Amino acid sequence: MADESALLFWQKIKPSAEITDVAEALRCEIYDPLWMIGRQWQVGEFRAEDAGTAAFAAVDSISFYPDSIYGINNGSTKLKPALDVPMNTTIETVPMLFTLHIRIEAAKKWKSMLASAAKTTIWKKFLALPALQFATPSNIYQPDNEVLTSSSNENFSSWLAATGNGRMIDGFLLYEALKKKKASVIAGATDPKLDELGVAWTAWVEKLVGIPTPKTLSAWDASRLEYSAEMIVTQDDNSQPYVQMPEYHGQMMSNYSWQEKMHDHVTSPARAIERHNYIPTPVSFPGMPSPRWWAFEDTSIDFSNIKTDNTDFGMLLLAEFGLIFSNDWLLIPLTTIAGSITKIKALDITDVFGVQTSVPGVKQNNFWELFGNDSSHSSQMMGSLYLPVLAEHTIESLKNEDVFFFRDEMGNLVWAIEETIQDGTGESLDADDAARSLELFLSGIEGPAPDNPPPADVKSNYRYEIANTVPPNWIPFIPIRPDPGSAEIVFRRSAMPRFSRDYGASRIRPRTQILKNKEAGNKRYDIREEEIPLSGIHVSQVIRRTRAADGTVYTWQARVKTTGRKNQQGGLQFDNMV
């Protein structure tokens, strides 16, 4: 045992600096290589798990392009997608109205083309034709056409006053005339050059207004109030899958908007595989752990302080990536051509020791896939990436049309309320104000209603009313079954009656392009039942403008579908006592 009576002494050993400069001490220089080797052995660096750093990467890829694209309304018309035209303009375009501005602009374009071709005398002949002059609106009400007369639209009248008396021809009337006859026939002169100008001007107008032609895509699905289109793709293995965009609401298009639709195999020419060499660069991000021993890490983001539940799988994966595997990821920028579909065939990595490693492709499935198109488990496009030509930034006008659809459970129908309409001059109007103005105009034509007091011997506190009414800008859609043997229900556009003392009963027609649905080419307009939720939806129409990569400016009219947030009742009732 130790002698407890013995004296114990302690001596403190501490280093003392031999120099006064602190910079050398802060460098933490190590002069003992054995210590460093021992430290490397301690943390497992000698296991050769991270032996060689990637120096070069060779990527074998193959690119192919869509063969054709077509819309839901004209599936027989298949177009070749242009690689220099944004896909937004191709998919979203719906025809514009021949507003007064467009009519005047089209006529000025025709005058400019004739002047450039030294045919000023021909322009004077067109200017003198009565059939091409602007027509002054009549004050006579036409129930079947819902014509806005000069008395109900002051802007329209002022524009007509500025263009009347032979000052300018109507571009719309000129377009209709050139679609039926040649320009030389209209002018009364045999001139092949004039006919060529007429064809060129007609094509310019169709592009400006978006008039459907055999070479125009029609992707607006009026029955679902959204866009729908499909593309045919021929791949390197002779397969030909369909790529479809089934539910595009017109808000923001991306490559994720497209998904695969299976189709039969066909024979196609083989495509060459391209090989690209790159220098991999480490992936970096804020808060990333430093790979060096003596480096101070960034404290702006603390991955160790992430508070998440064990069911938040995405957050757990992010934390694991940031804390453990962050130094093992490399970035290889593979450049692809916009509008193409690219598939990686092989990836070879060469490290700093000259060792080559072939990285096989990971078999993707429905449970894990990044940067790809939605596809099934037996997909023909699995591992492919479609990069459409898109307009990232667009300038958007105010709404020129806006319609609110909502269900009226008490009336067992759907109401489409026109909230914004076009006035015919290129401007928009509040639909409620326009409806009231038209009713006042009609009452002004007919004059005040005659006084029909009840007979003197009739005394009652109640009055029987067959039915009440709703504002004129409320268009009803009634539920029907197109197939009696099926339970499927659609909402078909109907009409509220307008009773006039002088003209009798007539139907109140919609005044928006959205509800007229002239793109479909039929008189009936059916909307699928599941497309109108209880909260309702808004469908608006705007003008968009963008500039492509080559500087070309594109302007088109598009529609946008958004969720409505109004609970409203129509209030239509029959057989009332008031």
CA–CA separation, 557 and 94 (whole Å) = 6
Say whether pLDDT at 189 is over 90.
no
Report which DSSP code applies to 80. Answer: P
Q: 525, 430, 434: which is closest to 476 by C-alpha?
A: 525
Q: Which residues contact 300 (CB under 8 A, 6 or more apart)?
A: 286, 287
Residue 84 corresponds to which amino acid?
D
Q: Looking at residues 170-188, what average pLDDT do you find?
A: 89
Q: Which two tokens stand for residue 368?
A: 């894990």
Q: Looking at residues 188-206, what average pLDDT do you find?
A: 89
Predicted pLDDT of residue 377: 47
Predicted pLDDT of residue 269: 46
> β-strands 428-430, 242-248: how paired?
unpaired
Predicted pLDDT of residue 444: 67
Stronger pLDDT, 193 or 301, i.e. the higher one = 193
Residue pair 342/387 in contact by the 8 Å Cβ criterion? yes
CA–CA separation, 346 and 57 (whole Å) = 10
- Write down the residue that tokens 């030294």 correspond to: 118
> Backbone phi, then psi, for 545, in 5-degree steps?
-145, 135
Stronger pLDDT, 246 or 472, i.e. the higher one = 472
Q: Looking at residues 109-126, what average pLDDT do you find?
A: 90
The whole-model pTM stands at 0.74
Q: Which two tokens stand for residue 367?
A: 């449970």
Stronger pLDDT, 285 or 578, i.e. the higher one = 285
Say whether pLDDT at 401 is over 90.
yes
- Write down the residue that tokens 């309409």 correspond to: 421
> Backbone phi, then psi, for 111, in 5-degree steps?
-65, -40
Cβ neighbour number for residue 181 with a 10 Å cutoff: 12
Q: Which two tokens stand for residue 97?
A: 């109205």
CA–CA separation, 430 and 233 (whole Å) = 45
Predicted pLDDT of residue 265: 41
Query: Residue 292: pLDDT band by 50, 70, 90 thresholds?
Result: low
Query: Residue 549: pLDDT band by 50, 70, 90 thresholds?
Result: confident
Q: Which of 35-49, 223-237, 421-435, 487-501 has the lowest mean pLDDT?
A: 35-49
Predicted pLDDT of residue 539: 94
CA–CA separation, 106 and 110 (whole Å) = 6
Cβ neighbour number for residue 413 with a 10 Å cutoff: 17
Say whether pLDDT at 492 is over 90.
yes
Question: What does the mean pLDDT of the chain come to?
Answer: 77
Predicted pLDDT of residue 352: 82
Residue pair 218/52 in contact by the 8 Å Cβ criterion? no
Q: 129, 150, 128: which is closest to 139 by C-alpha?
A: 150
Predicted pLDDT of residue 109: 92
pLDDT, tens digit, 9 for 90 and up, residues 332-354: 888 888 888 888 888 999 988 88
CA–CA separation, 106 and 98 (whole Å) = 10
CA dihedral 557, 562, 568, 569 (to 10 degrees): 70
